[in-house]
Structure 1
Amino acid sequence: MARGGSRSVSRSAGTGRFVSSRTAARSPRTTTTERVGRGTSNSQTVNRSASTGRFVTAATAARHPGTTITQRV
């Protein structure tokens, strides 16, 4: 089993798929970069705006599915 800390990954807000860091740099409003790996317990679901990175309510995430990310932290 590989050891190591966390790493950065980029994800599309519209599709939820992983994208390259280069794609994320070209489309900062519709992508988000997050840390994955050690230290993430995945016990709580949160919603985050892809353009600002701020946490948003579930109602806001439902109204704007193309620019929000729902993730477990």
Structure 2
Amino acid sequence: MASRSAKTGRYVSKATARRNPRTTVTHSGKSSAATGNRSAITGRFVTEATAKRHPDTTITEGGA
């Protein structure tokens, strides 16, 4: 499984993901058809306005 920082968008190590669970999203690496903004904290999709208010804890996902 790959982990990505919500702050930088870069992939991070497993150790970094464990140290920073609120700002790291872990996914299977398989492409998803889902698009939108997802909270790194809850894992739920959020609105564009919420993503703009919380850029350090939101990942923008693109579909395949």
TM-score range, shorter chain: 0.7 to 0.9
Partner of 1:50: 40
Q: How many residue pairs end up in the alignment?
A: 63
List alignment gaps of at least 5 residues for structure 2.
none
List alignment gaps of at least 5 residues for structure 1.
1-7
**One-letter amino acid matched to 1:67:** T
**One-letter amino acid matched to 1:28:** P
Q: Does 1:19 align with 2:12?
A: yes
TM-score under structure 1 length normalisation = 0.76
Query: What CA RMSD, in Å, does the superposition of the two structures yield over aligned residues?
Result: 1.5
Give identity over the alignment, percent.
Answer: 62
TM-score under structure 2 length normalisation = 0.85
Stretches (4+) displaced over 6 A? none
Higher helix share: 2
